[in-house]
Structure 1
């Protein structure tokens, strides 16, 4: 006859198993999210790319505006009118109607257009960089959500395996082949596995919420069916050309250099020409007027703005130098991390196969009474760790691919944009 002390773990475990089965038997999540490729096609609708597009449109509009010449000035001037003596009234007045135009000499217009074009080129490169970075953020959010979903499913499997082992241990306790302590330990392990499952569920829901926001999906993400973390990145090859970050820095340097010429031109006199018609009321006659005007550079020679433009150019040149140094180092590091992550994925896959076989043999030995529960627990823990390590390795490979793709100016797992 069984002791009542030996029945308690089994009864408690049975209640726990019923609760767990009820939770695991809930309806599956529906409406899976679109694939990463489908979401990548909509990357132009994200706020960062829309902002970059708007800034590019503004820069191109400034180029069009820079090509426009200044408007002429129309002037009307009356002299010798409504005074005293012979100048009372308007009979002896002189009225002049003139048209004045800024001639924009010394290459003033060309320098202005060159700066606007340089700024537009920089805005275009920034738009490309924003698109690449948006693709990287999308890939990271997608991969993290998929990894969180996979960890949740692994936690479900780990809980099921732990429950099965606990049941086997309770049977041995009932048969008197294991002490009561083993049953209590089994229940404790099942409770810990359940807590791990709850934590994995919270992480999954948080990752799904982030993916929904990053991808700007109309409905919340509930599951991911198309895998990204299982994709193999493109083969590493010789990377030629500057990174997008360096190209942006080069464009900023060119724009800063063109502003030096603008400030130099502004230091030169701004010549203006005028032509008009003058009416002499007393003689009932008219005559043409001509004129040229320019400021005398006695006080303001634009020295401060010229020096500021040179300083801005030196700063842009320093940023370009730093960007080139960092780009080379970052690219080498990203390639090394990608190679290491590929090796790590292969190693973890092999580790899973070995851990599964070790657990299978341990379970057979435990049920036959040749292996202790501690050895079974150790093999089960190794299997759970190996499966989670495989997910971590795949996520690390995606992150390395995202870093390298950003430096190469392309979408992750895709061709250059």
Structure 2
């Protein structure tokens, strides 16, 4: 009797600390530094190919702005007249040579319009870089949360395996004392085998979660994961009103506004291109007959007969209308997405608080009563196994609910990430 009592005290003690235990599959000691979510995000941001591509796009846009501000290059011109003719103009004896250069003079504000387009494109590239950074943060957060949840599932599975092993030992003592049927020992053995198999399965899933996180951050995890990351709630009052979000400052709206700015600058450039440019060409001519020099001044201007620029303006205006319509669509979509994400995050928080609080406490109490009752002969083994199974399922449900909440919260933060300064103008 005394051995049975000690055995179930050990089982109850293990069950009471299982919820607080996080556990980790990483080979780090308890004194190892904590590898936080911010460190993971920072590491991934520096190694993600998408981030590198966004940085290259920003550099290309800056170079494009420099190119847009450059003036047209002058053209060197050479001309030889009165050659390979007849009579006195036979051969090159009467050749007259003219050497000069032509300077294109842009009219209509073309250079300023090009710079405006390049500035708008640069702003759009910077916003796209911010969007990619926010996407990388969301991806890393989800992988980090999954890794922490997987570690906690491993700890729960190990604890349930210890409880099953202790229950098996208790069942053997009862059978040897003649107080129970050998069937109880067999049931306890089946429960122990299933619990140990579950530990192996959870270890594999946790290893996969850690591998995925390491692959995303571009290197090994240098420390233990922050096991408390699942337990942080954003709202003190989960039943309070949902805060209103200014969608005009979000990344999605900033990108739509930048597209409109590019289209507006394109219309201005198309109108500027309708104005013909001048080509002014001072030159020097050598007269072969007298060997004298004379100045030559040429001025040329294209005649807009076949291409007068109206089609380009029509095209640019249509693109502006398209960008403006897409901005209105984006405004509706982002408002709907944020509203849905807020509801999902609030529901996930309610589920997480309930699962990790009252529901888990009730399951733990039920298991504790079942152990005591089984020890005292008031409950059968089936009641004990059912209570332990319910406790294990409730613990896993609490872990899943907490992970779902953290993921929902991360998605909401991604949608409401503010644009960089000036990005929403």
Give the TM-score normalised by the residue count of structure 1.
Answer: 0.86
Aligned mate of 1:252, from 253, 256, 259:
259
> 1:316, 1:351 → 2: CA distance?
51
Report what 2:228 is aligned to: 227
Task: Tell me how far 1:228 sits from its aligned partner.
Answer: 1.8
Partner SS for 2:305: coil
Gaps of 5+ in 1: 1-26, 412-417
1:159 and 2:161 matched: yes
Determine if contact 1:275/1:290 at 8 Å carries over to the other structure: yes
CA distance in 2, matches of 1:28, 1:265: 64
Distance 1:234 1:160 in 2: 36
- The match for 1:285 is 292
1:246-325 matches, cutoff 5 A? 246-325=253-332
1:24 maps to which residue?
A: none
2:89 to 87, 90, 94: 87
1:210 corresponding residue in structure 2: 212
The aligned counterpart of 1:40 is: 41
CA contact (8 A) 1:81 1:90 kept: yes
Residue aligning to 1:182: 184
- Aligned-residue offset at 1:333: 1.9
Q: Is the 8 A contact 1:208 1:222 kept in 2?
A: no
- Mark the CA change 1:164 to 1:297 in structure 2 (over 3 Å): closer, same or farther: same
Q: Return the alpha-carbon distance in structure 2 between the equivalents of residues 28 and 270 of structure 1.
A: 69
1:186 to partner: Cα distance: 2.0
Worse-superposed segment, 384-393 or 343-352: 343-352
Q: Deviations over 1:44-78 (max 9, x none)?
A: 41322222111111101110110000100011111
Give the counterpart of 2:338 among 331, 334, 338: 331
Contact 1:105 1:270 in 2 (8 A): yes
Q: CA deviation at 1:184?
A: 2.1
Return the alpha-carbon distance in structure 2 between the equivalents of residues 221 and 150 of structure 1. 19
Shift of 1:316: 2.1
Contact 1:209 1:220 survives alignment (8 Å):
no
Question: What is the CA-CA distance between 1:161 and the residue it aligns to?
Answer: 1.3
* SS in structure 2 of the partner of residue 370 of structure 1: coil
Residue 360 of structure 1 aligns with which residue? 368
Do 2:250 and 2:417's aligned partners in 1 also have CA atoms closer than 8 Å?
yes
CA contact (8 A) 2:260 2:327 kept: yes
Q: Structure 2 CA distance, aligned partners of 1:110 and 1:225?
A: 53
Aligned to 1:239: 245
Aligned counterpart for 1:132 among listed residues 117, 134, 150: 134
Structure 2, gaps ≥5 residues long: 1-24, 237-241, 420-425
TM-score (norm 2): 0.84
Which stretch has the larger CA shift, 59-68 or 91-100? Answer: 91-100
Residue 28 and residue 206 in structure 1: after superposition, are their counterparts in 2 closer, same or farther (change >3 A)?
Answer: closer
Name the count of aligned residue pairs. 385
| Cα pair 2:338 2:415 within 8 Å, conserved | yes
Counterpart of 1:108 in structure 2 is 110
Residues 296 and 308 of structure 1, relative CA distance in 2, 3 Å threshold:
same
Alpha-carbon deviations, 1:338-391, whole Å to 9, x = none? 222222222122222221121111101101111011111111111111211221
Structure 2 counterpart SS, 1:69: coil
Residue by residue over 1:220-249, the C-alpha shift from the partner in whole angstroms, topping out at 9 and shown as x without a partner, is: 578424532222336774423431111111
Q: Retained in 1: the 8 A contact 2:44–2:216?
A: no
Change (3 A) 1:226 1:172: closer
The verdict on how the C-alpha distance between 1:129 and 1:362 changes in structure 2, with shifts beyond 3 A counting, is same
Q: Which residue of 2 aligns with 1:195?
A: 197
Quote the offset at 1:283 in angstroms.
Answer: 2.2
Q: CA RMSD in A?
A: 2.4
Q: Does the CA-based 8 Å contact 2:35-2:222 persist in structure 1?
A: no
Aligned match of 1:146 in 130, 145, 148? 148
Distance 1:373 1:143, change over 3 A: same
8 Å Cα contact 1:246/1:323 also seen in 2: yes
Contact 1:209 1:221 in 2 (8 A): no
Task: Report the secondary structure of 1:58's partner residue.
Answer: helix
Using the alignment, how far apart are the partners of 1:226 and 1:151 within structure 2? 11
d(CA) in 1 for partners of 2:197, 2:132: 40
- Superposition misfits of 4+ residues, deviation over 6 angstroms: none
